[in-house]
A and B are shown apart, each in its own frame.
Chain A
Amino acid sequence: MTSKSVVLGLLALALAGCKTEIVFENQIPGASVDNVRWESGSTSFSSESGDRLEPGQSSEAVSISGPHEGETGRIHFELIVEGRKVALVTEDRFTAHTNETTTFTLTPETVATNPLADSPSEGTPSPADP
């Protein structure tokens, strides 16, 4: 291995470590999560596969583009139990930390409302896992 290839390899590693990514995780016993996305401003980020997350499952990493790195946003998703679903939006805002892979975890304690039944107020930014 030449010194040039070592430098290129290190550079690639460094660049890989600079990516801002988010991962959605379902930690809600007995409930599935579908169509999960993170909305920052008017932009929505979701995994390309769009697979339904069963309890304990995580999504693939979603890359966050420049202007949205370090931004906060709410998570929109559908909660599914026994063939019935409801669309929900988290009350808390989740932050996509710059140059990190941040896991957004949905738990039974996560505060969420239905857009038709309620209007989320402008909450204060929260840590990734409130």
Chain B
Amino acid sequence: MHEMPRRVLGAALAIALTAGCGEDQTSAQGVVESVDGRSAVDTLIALVSLRDSATGSAGDATRLERVRWRVDDRAWGTFDVGEQDPNAGSEALVIAELGREIERTEDPLDTIAEWRSLLDAHLAPGGHVAELEAVWIDGQMLEPHRFIPFDIEQGDATAYLGGVEVEVSLGGGRK
């Protein structure tokens, strides 16, 4: 299991404190419970950094706009990265929570079939593999297909994937 930096711990705490507030009507946050005491992880957290494939230098992570994840070869969703701390360095904090994916925002949960799919997508304890399938930088979609194995332990509410470096051509600068 990756060790969480303080910044990520802060994000995890924020998620825990806001869970169940019910302010976002499209969100499934905090409404799914475990029946048998097993974990029901619905949030992936990662620190994504960019590296210029031409120069090998670190890229400006604030240029990262959006990411798309798959987990265990199933779609997890596409997520806006959101406002980044300009002092955070070359890493962008990415929080991918079921119920807040862009696809769900455009199509809120409203049938039993969709709720069933949401329950089915939650992750149980054990080994899993996340795939960073696509990233959007300056409006351009790139497909790094980075695979990150991770473990979920009993009682986990979120899964921290650690740092994920994406090598891309950043030559064009900001558009």
The chain A residues found within 8 Å of chain B, CB to CB, are 28, 30-31, 79-88, 91, 106-114, 116-119
Contacts and interface: CB of A to CB of B under 8 A. Distances in A.
Query: Sorted from nearest, which 4 A-B pairs have the closest CB atoms?
Result: A108-B113, A81-B119, A114-B31, A83-B36
Contacts of B115: 79, 86, 88, 112, 114
B30 A86 contact: no
Interface string B10-21: 000000000010
Nearest to A26: B112
B contact face: mostly helix, strand, loop, or mixed: loop
5 contacts: A80-B35, A86-B33, A107-B112, A113-B110, A118-B22
Contact of B31 (A31, A108, A111, A117): A117
A28 B112 contact: yes
B124 A83 contact: yes
Interface residues of B, number: 31
Interface string B96-137: 000100000000111111011011101010000000000000
A117 B25 contact: yes
Contact of B113 (A80, A109, A114): A109
A117 B111 contact: no
B57 to A, nearest CB: 44
B20 to A, nearest CB: 6
Interface centre among B28, B35, B38, B110, by most chain A C-beta atoms within 10 angstroms, is B35
B28 A91 contact: no
Contacts of A113: 109-110
B158 interface: no
Given A111-B110, A113-B109, A28 B116 contact: yes
Contacts of A117: 22, 24-29, 31, 99, 109
B32 interface: yes
B154 interface: no
Interface centre among B20, B112, B124, by most chain A C-beta atoms within 10 angstroms, is B112
Given A83-B124, A85-B119, A114-B28, A109 B111 contact: yes
Contacts of B120: 30, 81-82
A85 B112 contact: no
B126 to A, nearest CB: 12
Interface centre among A81, A108, A113, by most chain B C-beta atoms within 10 angstroms, is A81
Nearest to B23: A117
